[in-house]
Structure 1
Amino acid sequence: MKMSIGQTIEIIYLDKAGKITQRKIEVLGIRNGRIRATCLTTGAPRVFLASSILSCQPVAENRYA
């Protein structure tokens, strides 16, 4: 899947300790195999390695919220 700045996606990620997590993130920037994002679960800024993202999909917009 191609990611775009400003897009909200759900990822399954393998961290450097070998732990698999599932997160919803808002993409802030993409550069040199790194995705700078805000984790929507914690509200914290994060950087994810594109090579460690096991799966990703766009989050459907809720038009009735």
Structure 2
Amino acid sequence: MDILKSALEFHRPVTIIYMDKDKKITRRNIQVLGIKGEKVEAFCYLRRQKRYFKRENILAAQYLH
């Protein structure tokens, strides 16, 4: 099962490695709120607000410990 779908279903936060629009690699802790096509709607703990992440730019994901 896709970890992002699982995180949404079980309300578990995840850490993602993400390539932003400037091609910078960042690590974000997120709570997945929804998945709409190729976009992941999530609460970003770094920015403290709802953000959208392109699935193709999520390089890795794991449950937050």
TM-score (norm 2): 0.82
Aligned with residue 48 of structure 1, among 19, 34, 53: 53
Percent identity of paired positions between Structure 1 and Structure 2:
35
**CA RMSD, 1 decimal:** 1.2
Q: Secondary structure at the match of 1:41?
A: coil
Which amino acid in the other structure matches residue 20 of structure 2? D
Structure 2 partner of 1:2: 3
* Structure 2 residue ranges without an equivalent (≥5): none
- Give the alignment partner of residue 35 of structure 2, picking from 27, 30, 33: 30
Q: How many residues align?
A: 60
Looking at secondary structure, tell me which structure has more helix per residue.
Answer: 2
Deviation per CA, 1:30-51: give whole Å up to 9, x if none. 1101100011122111000011
Q: 2:24 aligns with which of 19, 23, 41?
A: 19
Q: Which runs of 5+ in 1 are unaligned?
A: 61-65
